[in-house]
Amino acid sequence: MMTRAWLILADILVLLFLLFSFVLFFLYQPEYIPPKQPTARQTLPPQIVSSQTDESNCSLPVLPEGNVTLSVLKELNVSREESEAALSLEEILQLSQEVSMQEYLERNTFQYVSLKARLKALDAQKGDRVFIRIFKEEALLEVWIETLQGYRHLKDYPICDYSGHLGPKLKEGDRQAPEGFYRVYPSQLNPHSRFHLAFNLGYPNAYDRAHHHTGSYLMVHGDCRSVGCYAMTDEKIEEIYGLVDAALKHGQPYVPVHIFPFRMEDEAMDAHTESRWYEFWMMLKEGYDYFEAEERPPLVEVQNGRYVIMETAD
């Protein structure tokens, strides 16, 4: 009887030990640390790794093995699997860089090509009618020129400096660069400006005066300094001024200069619906849309304190 009691007690102790071990197992599970794997960068050949750390190549995307951009695949016109099987890593990297550079140059064609080359390509010359658009947010000045095929995109010039923020100029001294539709007449050119070369935008125009906006000497000029103007480098203003001056001397009555806060596509406008200037910008968008559709600058008048976009006479 005594032996049976000891056996039962032993069984109970074994069960308690197993239960205790089971509880400890779930409460204190050991953390699993996987073995360290080499990164994609570590698996690259030394010459590729060194090129990724070279600041001189930072503008060109360098891809890890097996990561081919969509632009490269499109250029190859093959699937990812096919391209990886057919090309070595070095070939993929080289082609990616070439495609990226080509895309970059296409986006900036009108900035980096010379004025002489663009005039020749369009069969145009200084003295032909010109039209200027300025985009604040992009800090960009576009020049369009009239050819036998209509107005063509001639050149883009990065704006070196402008002051203020998005929105129109309201009063003298607010250091705000204007927005709206302006005209440059021969009398507004200043070849002796202390800012190298300059032409006055004609601010305030009829719209500005109707809304009691004040200010004076709002210009596009050189010297890369601005207190309300659109400042260019001296090199850039020489080209722009020369085109405007030649067009006016060859009979263009005035050069229209349309100044927008940004490229006024629907998506961009939707992003600014809460702006205090939304209604004003919608007026500007009518002129922007006209040129985009007709590829010639509209005639812009002011009636009852509003810009009115009218069809250009042939």
In angstroms, what CA-CA distances link 157 with 72, 89, 113, 182, 299?
30, 38, 11, 19, 24
Question: pLDDT 10s per residue in the chain (314 long)?
Answer: 555 566 566 667 767 776 766 666 555 555 544 444 444 334 444 443 433 333 333 333 333 333 444 444 455 455 555 554 556 677 777 777 776 666 555 556 788 889 999 999 999 999 999 999 999 999 999 999 999 999 999 999 999 999 899 999 999 999 999 999 999 999 999 999 999 999 999 999 999 999 999 999 999 999 998 888 999 999 999 999 999 999 999 999 999 999 999 999 999 999 999 999 999 999 999 999 999 999 999 999 999 999 999 987 65
Report the candidate in 153, 152, 132 with the shortest Cα–Cα distance to residue 237. 132
Catalytic residue among 221, 224, 258, 272, which?
221
* pLDDT score, position 92: 72
CA–CA dist 259, 248 (Å, integer)? 20
Q: Is the peptide bond before 35 cis (omega within 30 degrees of 0)?
A: no
Phi-psi map region of 301: left, alpha, beta (phi>0 left; psi -120 to 50 alpha): beta
CA 28 to chain CA centroid, Å, is 55
Residue 58 a catalytic site member: no
The pLDDT value recorded for residue 99 is: 66
**For residue 80, is it left (φ>0), alpha (ψ between -120 and 50) or beta?**
alpha
Choosing from 160, 196, 213, 229, which is the catalytic residue? 229
Report the 10 Å Cβ neighbour count for 2.
6
Task: Report pLDDT digits (tens) over 169-208.
Answer: 999 999 999 999 999 999 999 999 999 999 999 999 999 9
Annotated domain spans of the chain: 40-46+55-107, 115-310
Contact, 258 vs 181, CB < 8 A?
A: yes
Q: Is 229 noted as a catalytic residue in this protein? A: yes
For domain 115-310, the CATH architecture is: Beta Barrel (2.40)
